[in-house]
């Protein structure tokens, strides 16, 4: 399973765009990149998933360069409620079935 | 669909006691996972299952046991509780390994 590296923490002000980058140098050909959000005392919840290039949904965008060795989660115009821990997870059918989370990135949004 | 349900929500154990954390999913997912999360830390994989009758160890399996007799249920057993097992335990399931994981609400365990 591809090992992931993310910044431990990030700070932002309300209304700004936040970009969180995840490194996954040994990503396998069939691996997907998935980002989860976790609030205190809750289980992680899915934000976005991608394989290559760019994916956008109603809450975030995911940018994946051609070599797929990293990915960037982009949160547009964050609000206080976006304060949470964000996890990058890489996995697929050929990388085994153990889905290991890293330490995640703790995002603090302030007024 | 209830999704992934976990019981109990909270439990206090004495050192040496045993208990079973229950996890049930109603989405007919093949893969199920148990994680623990210590305060201020990330999730660590304890055990996982790729289908009924098949389980495997994750990063931190010591002190725990699991079974998967049905697709729906994946209980986690603590035989001799230790203070180091004080944590929040999350169960998750996924239909295929590259798809989205669905998490339960968690079980908060305190071992004194």
The secondary structure of chain B as a DSSP string is ---EEEE-SEEEE-TT--EEEEEEESS--SEEEEEEE-TTS-EEEEEEEEETTEEEE-S--TTEEE--SSSSB--EEESS--GGG-EEEEEEEESSTTS--EE---EEEEE-
Domain count across chain B: 1
Please give the DSSP secondary-structure letter assigned to residue A41.
T
Task: Decide if B112 contacts B59 (C-beta within 8 A).
Answer: no
Residue B27: inside a domain, yes or no?
A: yes
Q: What is the pLDDT of residue B1?
A: 74
Is the per-residue pLDDT at A92 higher than 80? no
Q: What is the pLDDT of residue A1?
A: 57
Q: What is the pLDDT of residue B38?
A: 93
Cβ separation of A99 and B50 shorter than 8 Å?
no
- Residue A65 in tokens: 């360069």
Residue B40: inside a domain, yes or no?
A: yes
Range of the domain at B96: 4-100
pLDDT in tens, A38-78: 998 899 999 999 999 999 999 999 999 999 999 999 999 99
Q: What is the pLDDT of residue A7?
A: 96
Q: What is the pLDDT of residue A2?
A: 65
Cβ separation of B44 and A101 shorter than 8 Å?
yes
Which CATH fold would you assign to the domain A9-110? Immunoglobulin-like (2.60.40)
The CATH number of residue B87's host domain is 2.60.40.10
**For a pLDDT cut of 70, what percent of chain A falls above it?**
96
Q: What is the pLDDT of residue B3?
A: 93
Residue B107: inside a domain, yes or no?
A: no
Cβ separation of B50 and A93 shorter than 8 Å?
no
Q: Does residue A49 sit at the B interface (CB-CB below 8 Å)?
A: yes
Provide the number of CB pairs (under 8 Å) joining chain A to chain B. 65
Residue B38: inside a domain, yes or no?
A: yes
Which whole number is the average pLDDT over B28-44?
Answer: 92
Is the per-residue pLDDT at A94 higher than 80? no
Which of residues B4 and A98 earns the better pLDDT score?
B4
Which whole number is the average pLDDT over A87-107?
Answer: 83
For A67-85, the DSSP string reads T-SEEEEEESS--GGG-EE
Q: What is the pLDDT of residue A3?
A: 83
Show residues of chain A in contact with B96, CB under 8 Å: 93
Residue B105: inside a domain, yes or no?
A: no
Which whole number is the average pLDDT over A12-19?
Answer: 97
Residue B106: inside a domain, yes or no?
A: no
Q: Does residue A50 sit at the B interface (CB-CB below 8 Å)?
A: no
Which whole number is the average pLDDT over A20-39?
Answer: 92
Contacts (Cβ under 8 Å, ≥6 apart) of B22:
B6, B7, B8, B73, B75
Residue B37: inside a domain, yes or no?
A: yes
pLDDT in tens, B56-103: 999 999 999 999 999 999 999 998 999 999 999 999 999 887 788 899
Coil, helix or strand for B83? helix
Cβ separation of B58 and A100 shorter than 8 Å?
yes
Please provide the average confidence, as pLDDT, over all residues in chain B.
94
**For a pLDDT cut of 70, what percent of chain B falls above it?**
100
């Amino acid at each position: 399973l591809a090992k992931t590296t993310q910044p431990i923490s990030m700070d932002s002000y309300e209304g700004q765009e936040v970009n969180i980058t995840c490194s996954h140098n040994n990503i396998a050909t069939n691996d997907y990149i998935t980002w989860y959000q976790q609030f205190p005392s809750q289980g992680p919840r899915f934000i976005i998933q991608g394989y290559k290039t760019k994916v956008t949904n109603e809450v975030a965008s995911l940018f994946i360069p051609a070599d797929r060795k990293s990915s960037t989660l982009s949160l547009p115009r964050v609000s206080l409620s976006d304060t949470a821990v964000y996890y990058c997870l890489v996995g697929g059918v050929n990388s085994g079935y153990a889905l290991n989370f890293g330490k995640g990135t703790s995002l603090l949004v302030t007024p | 669909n209830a999704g992934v349900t976990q019981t109990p929500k909270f439990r206090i154990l004495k050192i040496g006691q045993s208990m079973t954390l229950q996890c049930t999913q109603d989405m007919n997912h093949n893969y199920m996972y148990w994680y623990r999360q210590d305060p201020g830390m990330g999730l660590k994989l304890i055990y996982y299952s790729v289908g009924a009758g098949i389980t495997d160890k994750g990063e931190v399996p010591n002190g725990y046991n699991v079974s998967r007799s049905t697709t729906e249920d994946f209980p986690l057993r603590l035989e001799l509780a230790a203070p180091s097992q004080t944590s929040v335990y999350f169960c998750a399931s996924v239909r295929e390994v590259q798809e989205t994981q669905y998490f339960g609400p968690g079980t908060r365990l305190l071992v004194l």
